[in-house]
Structure 1
Amino acid sequence: MTSIQLTGAGSLTSHQLEAISLGSRLQLGEDRWQAVEQCRVFLEQLIDDKRRIYGVTTGYGPLANTYVDTAASARLQQGLVYHLSSGTGPLLSKQQVRAIMAARAVTLARGHSAIRPEALQLLLDCLNQDLIPQVPAIGTVGASGDLTPLAHITLGLMGQGDVWWQGETLNAAQALEKAGLQPLNPEGKDALALVNGTSAMTGMAALNTCQAERLLKLSVTLTGLYGELLSGHLEALQPGLAELRPHPGQAWAQQALLNACQDSQLLQQVEQPPPRLPADLPEGEARHHQPLPQDAYTFRCAPQHLGAVKDTLDFHQQVVDREIHAVTDNPLFLPESGEVLHGGNFFGQHIALAADALNNTLITLAVHSERRIARITDPSMNHGLPPFLRGNNNGLHSGFMGAQVTATALVAEMRTQASPASIQSIATNANNQDVVTMGTLAARRCATTLERLSELLAIESLILSQGYELKGGASAGFSKSATQLHRAVRKTADGLTDDRPLAGDIQQLSQQFTNPTLMAPFLT
């Protein structure tokens, strides 16, 4: 098992967080432990001096006007976890919870949250031994951070609730005992440090950005094969277009599509200067029904569309990577200057806006995929391919007709989830949280959109691979990129001859698209 070590002023990237979510270990360097210990000592000095510190010597939220004696510290911290462990709905996935735990550990390891080292060590031990609390998905508004999901994680550290352990669900106390770990008895600021922050939305958003990156690259490959099947024009992929419209994403997309297609013998080559009109064209007249010099927008505008997706994805990743490095609880402690800062770093607006932007960007990928599927299965537009790319052209079989309808349904499903979560503020907590971000809802919904998009691209992969075979396969002059995609699809699903149920093939392919290792053969 690989290990990722966090030292110095560095942080984790989204891709490192994804690696941890899939099983890599997280280790902290000695300098990080020293910072955590220094902050703990600073808090103890403040407590001994009976300073007013939110959540340590006061109540929570609108009850912060209650001062609490330090002798009640343990009860105060325990009560915080208990009253916040009120989530509902389906469970977050184990991979998502691992990402959340890693994101929280990175924040706490900055040494400004005043958690005790032993509490942080337990969080890391559970993560590294794969003892993962089960967390309901619903219950946070992303305002004072992700209180509810983080409380359920902390509850597991305390030996309560259910956890995943060695492939089964166990009571947390039983699993901790099997792992040789002592349950957490929070005191000081332990519980508040663990539950107060944006780590749930950030952890999920990190996974989203990695998965979106892979599906964007897959969309490039699919778009290239689609263009080959319809004898598209290479002219639309030329880098000169991006030079005149200098968005970084478009330049990336022009080059990525050109790389995927440049060895194809099926695309129409660039003619410069453009060809002359027919010599026998009568003066002052028009000649109709000549070959089109350019393609429908699903291929001609692919660099512009995929480039805009890339730029939005890059923006999302930049926001997430910054947030992973951020310290997002309250209050925060600066031992070097002796300051205690009460503020709102837990307010998840950055992630909320970025996740909404990514969600709608992914829906555009789905829209373009569905339009490619519609054109390639329509005999009036697909350049001589059979209707719905049926394998046996005998009138008895319908080919991908049902799958094309499912593709339409998937887009409709995603579109119903397009309204931004970040504008859905609802005041709560006795109007203490009078504006909220809904960042976790935005990140969760984006994860769902990625699931649906994976299913849609699985359908398109099956259909375009069928077209690859119907057009003659590798000997017909397809690009290496198209041949690689076809080979990868056929390792999972056979070509379609007589009609058969396709649901299993779609699900198996889409599940491969969610796994970084299994996804690799599909990408150029």
Structure 2
Amino acid sequence: MTRPVQLAANQDLSPAQLEAVANGAELQLSQQHWQAVQQCYEQVQQLLQQRARIYGLTTGYGPLADTYIDPADSASLQRNLIYHLSSGTGPLLAVTQVRAIMAARVATLARGHSGVHPKCLKLLLACLNQDLIPVVPSLGTVGASGDLTPLAHIARGLLGEGNMHVQGQLVTAADALAKAKLEPLAPTGKDALALVNGTSAMTAIAGLNQQLSERLLTLSVKHTVLYGEVLSGSTEALQPGLGQLRPHAGQCWAHQQLLAQAEGSERLQAYAPPPQLNDQVQQQQAMFAQAMPQDAYSFRCAPQHLGAVYDTLKFHQQTVTTELASVTDNPVFLNQPDGSVQVLHGGNFFGQHIALAADALNNALLTLAIHSERRIARVTDDKLNQGLPPFVRGNNNGLHSGFMGAQVTASALVAELRTHAHPASIQSIPTNANNQDVVTMGTIAARRCAETLQRLSELLAIEAMILAQAAELRHASVTSFSPASQAFIGEVRKQVKPLGDDRSLADDIQRLAHHLQQPGFNAQLV
């Protein structure tokens, strides 16, 4: 049974914990969380009794905020907010993504600055922990006043309307709640506004992207070393002295990790001081047929490339981690030293941080795909692969084509990714009667990153199959390869058998890609 994720008082939900909840772990809050939620709720109720003018509680929404709403109509105001925002379209978000969104929303509401009724938060948490997951369309949010549309579809499920995923089945939300003996939400006060008004969708998807990106970067390090071994590359470009002279944190990390993965390899050429020219060779004579002193950039520049991706990933991680620890709705309520509460109307729902970080990560992931495709191209080209058969086939050349088709697919995947590479964060389109005159498109950026990760996983699966076969063609027992590479080849072979006679590789690619994405995959760096 998966261990629950328990959030202690003053503890923030991490991307790793978010992924655990997305994959089925329960989320538990502390007593201090519930006390903070209860206190803020009571403060908001006092403000309503005083008929204070508070956006979304005693006013209309967006450009209709100049309309006063009597607190007596609070229930209708909140329910209508959910209804008018439940206008999403397009493919459904994955259940894991919706679970992550629900977890992120629970974490921000539990901080006790949103004014939500404790019963509302308890229902959201109960649905998450009992795996009653509302159906949420993926399209329809501009990421400006938070993720209004996807969060509204979750809130609609809490009302007992629409459909829910329950243990792999699609059932009505009303039936799901009834079977779980949960009372549907009857929103009042700020309940609906607190549920829908925040960056939880983009942040949750970005958090899942963070975790998978870390694993695929690790995988790219392994691929790079195995690629270098297949082509008898030199470890000179991996030497940490280069990082000392160009001390980006990521590059120094990459030098260390690449050398660690290469430890014990008999295939890589060890660093040695440059040899002296033969005294008999005249300086004016050209020297032909000499060994190339430097490897192709796809290996030689690996520390610089992987290091830059690492640094971008760290920036993304910092942004997501901070956003998970934030209160992102509007208005918010802040306790003052004198015991009063300050009502703040602002823009914490504006998802620019996530939008820019997600776009940056998407670019970094695309470079991983480009380098992977270039490694595949070199290993499958018999003019460049140092004696391996064309397309590293395992059988008769010509009669069988080996990985020729898979190499074409790799090229197509890179082209696919490049066509979706335009930044989402600059696509601001005024909406909401120009109330939202600038928007962030942060959720589009995060979703596109998730799609990039899926294509990258497939591309890296193709590369893993090709590199494993190339290594085995070099030496059937692969004992001359580093222990880390040998272990990696063994992991690949647990999922995909070698390619002898031509066969369809589509299922192999998908099975291996899925395996490479899993948190438990043996992709840890040594």
Question: Is the contact made by 1:474 and 1:483 (CA closer than 8 Å) also made in structure 2?
Answer: no
Residues 248-292 of structure 1, C-alpha deviations (whole Å, 9 max, x = no match): 0001111111001121001111113x2212243135423222001
How far apart, in 2, do the equivalents of 1:495 and 1:183 lie? 54
Which residue identity is paired with 1:444? R
Which residue identity is paired with 1:513? L
Which residue identity is paired with 1:504? D
Question: Is the contact made by 1:235 and 1:269 (CA closer than 8 Å) also made in structure 2?
Answer: yes
Partner of 2:265: 264
Partner of 1:48: 49
Partner of 1:163: 164
Question: Is the contact made by 2:478 and 2:486 (CA closer than 8 Å) also made in structure 1?
Answer: no
Partner of 2:503: 500
Question: Is the contact made by 2:135 and 2:154 (CA closer than 8 Å) also made in structure 1?
Answer: yes
How far apart, in 2, do the equivalents of 1:51 and 1:32 lie? 26
Partner secondary structure for residue 250 of structure 1: helix
Which residue identity is paired with 2:522? A
Which residue identity is paired with 1:445? R
Partner of 2:216: 215
In the alignment, structure 1 residue 319 sits paired with structure 2 residue 319: yes
Partner secondary structure for residue 65 of structure 2: helix
Partner of 1:252: 253
Partner of 1:372: 375
How far apart, in 2, do the equivalents of 1:130 and 1:170 lie? 12
Alpha-carbon shift at residue 8 of structure 1 (Å) = 2.0
How far apart, in 2, do the equivalents of 1:452 and 1:521 lie? 18
Tell me the TM-score normalized by structure 1. 0.98
Alpha-carbon shift at residue 442 of structure 1 (Å) = 0.2
Alpha-carbon shift at residue 512 of structure 1 (Å) = 1.1
Partner of 2:487: 484
Of the structure 1 ranges 394-403 and 114-123, higher mean CA displacement relative to structure 2 is found in 394-403
Give the paired residue count. 522
How far apart, in 2, do the equivalents of 1:291 and 1:500 lie? 37
Partner secondary structure for residue 422 of structure 1: coil
In the alignment, structure 1 residue 359 sits paired with structure 2 residue 362: yes
Alpha-carbon shift at residue 485 of structure 1 (Å) = 1.3
Alpha-carbon shift at residue 422 of structure 1 (Å) = 0.1
Partner secondary structure for residue 124 of structure 1: helix
For residues 128-207 of structure 1, what are the structure 2 equivalents within 5 Å?
A: 128-207=129-208
Which residue identity is paired with 2:488? L
Paired residue for 1:419, among 402, 411, 422? 422
Partner of 1:229: 230
How far apart, in 1, do the equivalents of 2:308 and 2:378 lie? 23
- With over 3 angstroms needed to count, the CA separation of the structure-2 counterparts of 1:321 and 1:521, relative to structure 1, is closer
Partner of 1:292: 292
Residues 324-343 of structure 1, C-alpha deviations (whole Å, 9 max, x = no match): 00000000001334210000
How far apart, in 1, do the equivalents of 2:350 and 2:414 lie? 32
How far apart, in 2, do the equivalents of 1:388 and 1:168 lie? 43
How far apart, in 2, do the equivalents of 1:73 and 1:232 lie? 70
CA RMSD of aligned residues (A): 1.0
Alpha-carbon shift at residue 10 of structure 1 (Å) = 1.7
Paired residue for 1:520, among 509, 512, 522? 522
Residues 88-145 of structure 1, C-alpha deviations (whole Å, 9 max, x = no match): 0000000000000000000001100000111000111011111110100001000000
Which residue identity is paired with 2:380? T
Residues 381-403 of structure 1, C-alpha deviations (whole Å, 9 max, x = no match): 00000000011134311100000
Partner of 2:33: 32
Alpha-carbon shift at residue 522 of structure 1 (Å) = 7.5
Question: Is the contact made by 1:352 and 1:421 (CA closer than 8 Å) also made in structure 2?
Answer: yes
In the alignment, structure 1 residue 404 sits paired with structure 2 residue 397: no
Partner of 1:339: 342
Partner secondary structure for residue 169 of structure 1: strand
Give structure 2 stretches of 5+ with no counterpart. Answer: none
Partner secondary structure for residue 91 of structure 2: strand
Alpha-carbon shift at residue 190 of structure 1 (Å) = 0.3
Alpha-carbon shift at residue 7 of structure 1 (Å) = 2.2
How far apart, in 2, do the equivalents of 1:291 and 1:317 lie? 43
Partner of 1:23: 24
Alpha-carbon shift at residue 523 of structure 1 (Å) = 5.8
Runs of 4 or more, structure 1, over 4 Å off, are 521-524
- With over 3 angstroms needed to count, the CA separation of the structure-2 counterparts of 1:278 and 1:262, relative to structure 1, is farther
How far apart, in 2, do the equivalents of 1:196 and 1:72 lie? 20
Partner secondary structure for residue 334 of structure 1: strand
Question: Is the contact made by 1:379 and 1:386 (CA closer than 8 Å) also made in structure 2?
Answer: yes
Residues 197-236 of structure 1, C-alpha deviations (whole Å, 9 max, x = no match): 0000000000000000000000000000000000000011
Alpha-carbon shift at residue 516 of structure 1 (Å) = 1.1
Question: Is the contact made by 1:488 and 1:522 (CA closer than 8 Å) also made in structure 2?
Answer: no
Partner secondary structure for residue 83 of structure 2: helix
Alpha-carbon shift at residue 475 of structure 1 (Å) = 4.8
Alpha-carbon shift at residue 476 of structure 1 (Å) = 4.6
How far apart, in 2, do the equivalents of 1:494 and 1:56 lie? 62
Alpha-carbon shift at residue 294 of structure 1 (Å) = 1.0
For residues 60-75 of structure 1, what are the structure 2 equivalents within 5 Å?
A: 60-75=61-76
Question: Is the contact made by 1:133 and 1:152 (CA closer than 8 Å) also made in structure 2?
Answer: yes
Partner of 1:113: 114
For residues 8-19 of structure 1, what are the structure 2 equivalents within 5 Å?
A: 8-19=9-20
How far apart, in 1, do the equivalents of 2:525 and 2:127 lie? 34
State the identity %.
63
Which residue identity is paired with 2:321? D
Alpha-carbon shift at residue 149 of structure 1 (Å) = 0.2
How far apart, in 1, do the equivalents of 2:332 and 2:466 lie? 54
Give structure 1 stretches of 5+ with no counterpart. Answer: none
Partner secondary structure for residue 461 of structure 2: helix
Residues 376-424 of structure 1, C-alpha deviations (whole Å, 9 max, x = no match): 0001100000000011134311100000000000000000011000000
Alpha-carbon shift at residue 158 of structure 1 (Å) = 0.7
How far apart, in 2, do the equivalents of 1:257 and 1:54 lie? 54
